[in-house]
Amino acid sequence: MASKLWEKSVTVDTGVERYTVGRDREMDLYLAPYDVLGSMAHIIMLESVGLLDKTELRPLLDELKNIYATAVNGNFTIEEGVEDVHSQVELMLTRKLGDTGKKIHSGRSRNDQVLVDLKLFTRSEIEEVANAVKQLFNTLISQSERHKDAIMPGYTHLQVAMPSSFGLWFGAYAESLADDLTVLQAAYRVANRNPLGSAAGYGSSFPLDREMTTRLLGFESMNYNVVYAQMGRGKTERVAANALAGIAATISRLAFDACLYNSQNFGFIKLPDEYTTGSSIMPHKKNPDVFELTRAKCNRLQSLPAEITMITGNLPSGYFRDMQIIKETFLPAFGELKSILAMTNDMLSRIEVNQNIADDPRYKYMYSVEEVNRLVREGVPFRDAYKKVGLEIESGSFEPVKELRHTHEGSIGNLCNDRVAALFNAAYDSFRFADTHRAINKLLEY
């Protein structure tokens, strides 16, 4: 069994080890590529301040690049008895390079190592989520334009209210994603700050160049105060989880609509047959299982910020082991949301829309407001027009004029999809993902 980085003369009890390590080795596989990148930036900085010899830097970088390739290809493993990803990387270096491999830990702690790993991981995953959101946004806008003239009932209190359209319905969720992306961009900025050099939360007596590691890793800035850098553990995850939960809330609501509108009693849309399932005893059934599971998965993601808050909410400043178990739900959450976004995009790309809903006499009363407004335009006071139409409805004599005159911004006749797209694209462009890619590519070529 490999010894721990912190182990001295006393060997830890095996039961205690199992309890404290928990699923950490499994979770750390998510972080392996980022741990290597952090180590590369750290040793380049150590050499620049004289804590590593030039002749030692090159072999270390070359071997770290080999480990990075192994991690990116999914072949990185944490051996039995090795506590975490940091220990495994250092073990692999010492096996290859002897005592030189032990020098990479100067001026840092596993505390700031895991912090930088989590920041780099979160930053990268947010980019992938943003790209998946963009794909779904484009599908929604496209469907909104394609079906902008297809009228459907709008509802309040689940009662037929006023005319809406599929252009409005698809476009509403597109604009919701534009706001969700703005929140995601805020989470990205929180993640895009460098904690490396904060060590155990109180800095180091070594003359570390934190500006250099910030630049090498493509961070926008550093977490300047070393105590706050450690306080960011859990906070960064909570902020990111809130952003993921916002996107999940949008998709969950869309999924509920889709399940409702796909049902026989509504018949507004038809989901692709390949995305529905059948019943074991009812031959006619086509169940919207995919959207039902999407709704449940999204609702589970919405609980993540609360879980992180409960773990971190009563902790003082400094590091505590409580933080470790946040990984178990936080790290897989990105993959969960990406799969949800991809599946939702696939379904919405192939959804069929009922173009003749307004012909159904059940929906004739949704035109009552249109009739009131028509009378008002002819000079009838609004309250009198409202009462007249109301009495016609009560007596059963109301017959709608199915002519819609909605011209203001954001209404049936003026969707403003171009403006919504401009909002979304401005939010997306503000991430400046290319800046990060340039820095990481340069680091890997060092």
Query: Which structural domain, as residue segments, surrounds residue 369?
Result: 361-395
Give how many domains the chain has, as a whole number. Answer: 3
Measured CA to CA in angstroms, residue 164 lies from 266, 364, 404 at distances of 15, 13, 10
Domain presence at residue 229 = yes
Domain boundary among 106, 129, 145: 106
For the chain, the farthest-separated pair of C-alpha atoms sits apart, in whole angstroms, at 95
Nearest to 243 by CA among 192, 287, 186: 186
Domain presence at residue 347 = yes
Domain presence at residue 335 = yes
242 shares its domain with 372: no
180 shares its domain with 274: yes
Q: Which residues is 163 bridged to in the sheet? A: 153
3-state SS of the chain is CCCCCCCCCCCCCHHHHHHHHCCHHHHHCCCHHHHHHHHHHHHHHHHHCCCCCHHHHHHHHHHHHHHHHHHHCCCCCCCCCCCCHHHHHHHHHHHHHHHHHHHHHCCCCHHHHHHHHHHHHHHHHHHHHHHHHHHHHHHHHHHHHHCCCCEEEEEECCEEEEEEEHHHHHHHHHHHHHHHHHHHHHHHHHHCEECCCCCCCCCCCCCCCHHHHHHHCCCCEECCCHHHHHHCCCHHHHHHHHHHHHHHHHHHHHHHHHHHHHCCCCCCEECCHHHCECCCCCCCCCECHHHHHHHHHHHHHHCHHHHHHHHHCCCCCCCCHHHHHHHHHHHHHHHHHHHHHHHHHHHHHCCEECCCHHHCHHHHHHHHHHHHHHHHHCCCCHHHHHHHHHHHHHHCCCCCCCCCCCCCCCECCECCHHHHHHHHHHHHHCCCHHHHHHHHHHHHCC
Tens digits of pLDDT across the chain (446 residues): 455 554 554 555 567 666 666 677 888 899 999 999 999 999 999 999 999 999 999 999 999 999 999 999 999 999 988 889 999 999 999 999 999 999 999 999 999 999 999 999 999 999 999 999 999 999 999 999 999 999 999 999 999 999 999 999 999 999 999 999 999 999 999 999 999 999 999 999 999 999 999 999 999 999 999 999 999 999 999 999 999 999 999 999 999 999 999 998 999 999 888 877 766 677 676 788 899 999 999 999 999 999 999 999 888 888 888 888 999 999 999 999 999 999 999 999 999 999 999 999 999 999 999 989 999 999 999 999 999 999 999 999 999 888 888 889 999 989 999 999 999 999 999 999 999 999 999 999 99
- The pLDDT assigned to 147 comes to 96
Domain presence at residue 234 = yes
| Tokens coding 368 | 């009552």
302 shares its domain with 381: no
237 shares its domain with 88: no
Domain boundary among 106, 131, 155: 106
- The pLDDT assigned to 286 comes to 78
170 shares its domain with 78: no
Distance CA 79, CA 405 (A): 69
333 shares its domain with 258: yes
- The pLDDT assigned to 6 comes to 44
CA 293 to chain centre: 18
Domain presence at residue 5 = no
Domain boundary among 67, 87, 106: 106
125 shares its domain with 148: yes
Write out the catalytic residue numbers. 157, 279
Domain presence at residue 7 = no
- The pLDDT assigned to 196 comes to 96
Give just the sign of the alpha carbon dihedral 291, 255, 271, 357.
Answer: positive
